[in-house]
Chain A
Amino acid sequence: MRNYSDYRIDDFAMDPDFIRWVLDPHLSDHDFWPQWLQENPHRLSDISAARLIVASMHIEEVEISQELVLQGMDKVLAQSGLGPARPTVFRFRFWLAAASLLVLVSSALILYKSFRSITHKNRPLAVSVWAVPVGDSLVEQANAGLSPKIIRLSDSSIITLQPGASIRYYSAFLGGNTRSIYLKGNADFQVEKVSNKPFLVYSQELITRVLGTSFTIKADGTAQDIKVIVHSGKVSVCREGEADSKGKLSSGTVQRGVILTPNQELVYNRTPRIFQKSLIDTPELVNPVAIKHDFVYEDIPVTEVLEEFKSAFDIDIEYDKEVLKDCRISANLSDESITKKLDLICAALGAKYEMIDGAVSIQAHPCK
């Protein structure tokens, strides 16, 4: 780091190291800058002015789809005589080993391999059900209107079909080992628990398996992505051909499906067939009983606050208990979303948090 003593506001706002501290801090920045400020307390107002300037250089940037990148990479590799691109995860793993650059993608890429070779003779296929004419044994419900349509099934489960969505199911819905629904389009599910009869939703090439829960599936036939969002309970999602006859994830050396808990959403990209699990944008309060302080805290240990968040929102928050053991907080966080609450707590702690694979990971420093 250079000698900042004669820096003016403008100089700070243009300094690459200062910019990094504001926009994308490395762990060392959390040590350097607070310490520098302790040694130069009269510079606090300049530093905050410069921080504000840097923070307002906020650029709107598009996201580039993984598909476009992979297709482009395939072309480059083919032209360079290196063959097609290999599945993402292998590169990803190598990446970790080689360079330990963990932040390559913000949410972890979970499922990876293609399993074209697996045949599924004994199970009904999502595709084939739509090829069969509807008759006495096969029922279709469609929503041709403009508002959501509510359907109650014989097991008392409720499906809300969004406009344009349709489901098919066999009239002997409750007669088999599983309750199977075939979905096109977007729908919300509130599933009643029936012991020993898992509820399976076939949407495109995905199977979502639940016991009793509510969740949303967004599976437009044309869309590149299939989305599963869990509101309560627990569901597992896998690709067709990777589940056994009861829709359970097949066991094997490679983890082949994804388990979702409340406030998590899964995006399945159909090409290149990648599952991406993340927290939904605004996690909902799923367990109000867990709230002891109504989000108003007076000199409460931060660990207690975080534990309360964990159970109230049913999200994973990872942090080092030892590091945070002396940190206490006084704040009124009652009006903020959970992400904003975490922002504020982390700001107060001078900590950083990341969303990794549907969990929150906090990197903090001990409090004095």
Chain B
Amino acid sequence: MIKVQQDNFDVGAELADLTAGNYGIGGVVSFVGLVRDLIDVDGRDAALRAMTLEHYPAMTEKKLAEIEAEARSRWPLEASLIIHRYGRLEPGEQIVFVACAAAHRQAAFDACNFLMDWLKTDAPFWKLEETDAGEGWVDSRESDDEAAARWQIKPDRAAE
């Protein structure tokens, strides 16, 4: 299931919903991404006031659904969930949630890892950071491309 929303989410409630009534599930692995309070600005630490996530709604839903379908084709998952927030978020707030449930733990761990790596490089979100010095857009990271590449699908990027 995919949820793209401005509102916060309750991890406990989401996990309870994900596994409710399915006694074939032997394990759930989840990841929560949070807004950090320190960022790197030109090699120096800067205090983050807030981060604003912009996205391309129609494409976001489509890409996240594709990424989830890919995970479910690779691992025997009983249930899966991706929540990605957008809008203005302050340090400590939750940004993203991925949960995978399976009969056995290895599939759940691997699928969760895959989903996070893959959504970093494929989901159309952009982060704008606010510090006391002003605003700046976050640059994409080569390490994220490398993390996604280890699952042996070429990042689906134009002009590369």
Task: Decide whether A and B assemble into one complex.
Answer: no
